[in-house]
Amino acid sequence: MQSPAGASRHAVPTPAHIRVTAPARLHFGFVDLHGGLGRRFGSLGLAIDRPAVRLRASHAAETEVVGPGAERVSHVLSALNQRYGVDLAARVEIEEAIPSHAGLGSGTQITLAAAVALCALSGQIVSVPELARGLQRGARSGIGAGVFELGGFVVDGGRGDADAAPPVISRLPFPEDWRVVLLFDRQLTGLHGEGEVAAFRDLPHFPEREAERLARLVLMKLLPALAEARLEEFGAALTQLQQRIGDHFAPAQGGRYASRRVERGLQRLADWGAAAYGQSSWGPTGFAIFGGQAAAEAAVQRLSGARDGIEAESIEIARGCNRGAQLHPVYAIAGRAVAA
């Protein structure tokens, strides 16, 4: 049995240990960087099946956190104690983590994965929106928390005056046949921390008419095309949004894309049939969407063989992930381990 990641806060039986798997996310851009209606940003994003966060948490004599991202998880345990009274000794083994500062939502996904696991070990479940707010995730985007809870293709309603992460206003399944080719640049990291704050502060004002145009593009073309699995229409709308947002962020990241190597790879994939392409968040990770596995594999093979292409180990083919984080608690009953 897979426990829901979005349950409301209440006391539950305490498991002996718990495993959590959480998908990475692609952040496709913003709908309204103008903010004239009282809400700003408004994000689009997708849960993907790789890379992912995988961790195991169990009761222990004293707290120990091991694996990639251990320092962040240690901070989560401290914050949970301060905010929710989660006070327990636990061993957390991080078996797999999402690459940091690559545009894939690593910080939010590992924070929420550790938080729901540790809350469950302490005998309570706190809702994902509440955890996101309490642990200060989602300052500008609700996509990370949205895909953690729901999976699929998610749109949030932007940041308003409320002290809460932007609300999810649309969630659609991503077609099972479609594939996402990921291009990584292991030598770069995307803007984050103070650099990201400074970028948003210093970027030019976004024109209101452009925000109106992007909102119409999302509502009247991109989302209907996704709902009807019309790949070409969806891809054209997503690529158009990506290009406009990428050009707006160009002064902060040195161009439409953060990585010139990824940019060259994306252009080749576009020439070879990608329906949509662009950069996730601040990058440097790029994405290209194809209609099926065979088409994606053929394009990847050509790209890997190109003389100035990206190395094969920096390319992956992912699927959309139409479910949120998965929790697998194990209870000790009469001396036996029993999975829920």
- Locate the domains of the chain by residue range: 1-173+322-340, 175-319
Helix then strand count (H, E) for the chain reads 10, 14
DSSP, collapsed to helix, strand or coil, labels residue 94 as strand
Token output for 188: 């770069």
Q: Nearest 5°: CA angle at 260, between 256 and 261?
A: 135
pLDDT tens for the 340 residues of the chain, in order? 344 454 445 555 678 889 999 999 999 999 999 999 999 999 999 999 999 999 999 999 999 999 999 999 999 988 998 888 888 899 999 999 999 999 999 999 999 999 999 999 988 878 998 899 888 887 789 999 999 999 999 999 999 887 778 999 999 999 999 999 999 998 888 877 788 888 888 888 999 999 999 999 999 999 999 999 999 999 999 999 999 999 999 999 999 999 999 999 999 999 999 999 999 999 999 999 999 999 999 999 999 887 666 777 799 999 999 999 999 988 755 445 545 5
pTM summary value = 0.91
Instruction: Provide the CATH topology of domain 1-173+322-340.
Output: Ribosomal Protein S5; domain 2 (3.30.230)
Fold adopted by 175-319: Alpha-Beta Plaits (3.30.70)
Residue with tokens 């209870």: 331
E strand or H helix at 325? none
How far is residue 102's CA from residue 229's CA, in Å, rounded to a whole number?
A: 28
